[in-house]
């Protein structure tokens, strides 16, 4: 999976391997960088709740209209925000149970977009929606 990472002067493109595991209560998505395995993102969707677990934080689905785009095969991505709002908090997160993680917005850290292949137009559209 291709990741576009916005942090610093120039966006970086990096490759991640996605592994998926379903348990009785959760859908577990793990993204590991191809080159640097210390760059790992794990996100868990609680099956019977509108909740994501990311890092030490819990994110809940918002009432914002879901994100869709024709180039994403009709998939619908819900917005998730942290319960503990802070100026430097991560969020929103765009997520679909069928696709996994589309985007993580972070005001003071990296914003990351996960796409099957590089697409500058779609990336810009996602960024615009994250910042609305």
pLDDT digits (tens, 9 = 90+) for 47-102: 999 999 998 889 999 999 999 998 898 899 999 998 766 655 677 999 999 999 99
Overall pTM surpassing 0.75 (yes/no): yes
Q: What is the pLDDT of residue 68?
A: 94
**Shortest CA distance to 17 belongs to which of 32, 3, 6?**
32
Q: Per the structure block, which two tokens stand in for 24?
A: 């009785």
Identify the band that residue 24 occupies on the pLDDT scale cut at 50, 70 and 90: very high
Q: Which residues lie across from 101 on neighbouring strands? A: 95
Give pLDDT, residue 88.
Answer: 59
Quick one: what percent of the chain has pLDDT higher than 90?
63
Q: For tokens 């180039």, what's the residue?
A: 71
pLDDT for the residue numbered 99:
94
Cα–Cα distance, 119 to 116 (Å, whole number):
9
Predicted confidence at residue 89, as pLDDT, reads 65
The predicted structure's pLDDT at residue 9:
78
Q: Which residues contact 107 (CB under 8 A, 6 or more apart)?
A: 87, 88, 89
Question: What's the farthest any 2 CA atoms get from each other in the chain?
Answer: 43
Concatenated DSSP letters of 52-93: EEETTEEEEE-SSPPB--GGGTT--BEEEEESS--TT-EEEE
Parallel/antiparallel/unpaired status of strands 90-96 and 2-6: unpaired
> 78 vs 109, which has greater pLDDT?
78
110 against 84, higher pLDDT: 110
Torsion angle (degrees, nearest 10) of CA 14, 5, 36, 55: -130
């Amino acid at each position: 999976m291709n990741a576009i990472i916005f942090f610093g002067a120039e966006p970086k493109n990096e490759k991640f391997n996605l592994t998926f595991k379903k348990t009785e209560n959760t859908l577990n998505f793990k993204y590991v960088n191809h080159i640097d395995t210390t760059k790992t993102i794990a996100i868990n969707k609680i099956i019977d709740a509108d909740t994501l677990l990311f890092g030490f934080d819990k994110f809940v689905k918002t009432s914002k209209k879901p994100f869709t785009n024709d180039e994403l095969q009709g998939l619908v991505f819900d917005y998730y925000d942290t319960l503990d709002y802070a100026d430097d908090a991560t969020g929103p997160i765009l997520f679909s149970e069928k696709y996994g993680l589309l985007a993580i917005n972070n005001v003071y850290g990296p914003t990351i977009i996960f796409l099957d292949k590089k697409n500058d137009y779609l990336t810009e559209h996602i960024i615009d929606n994250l910042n609305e």
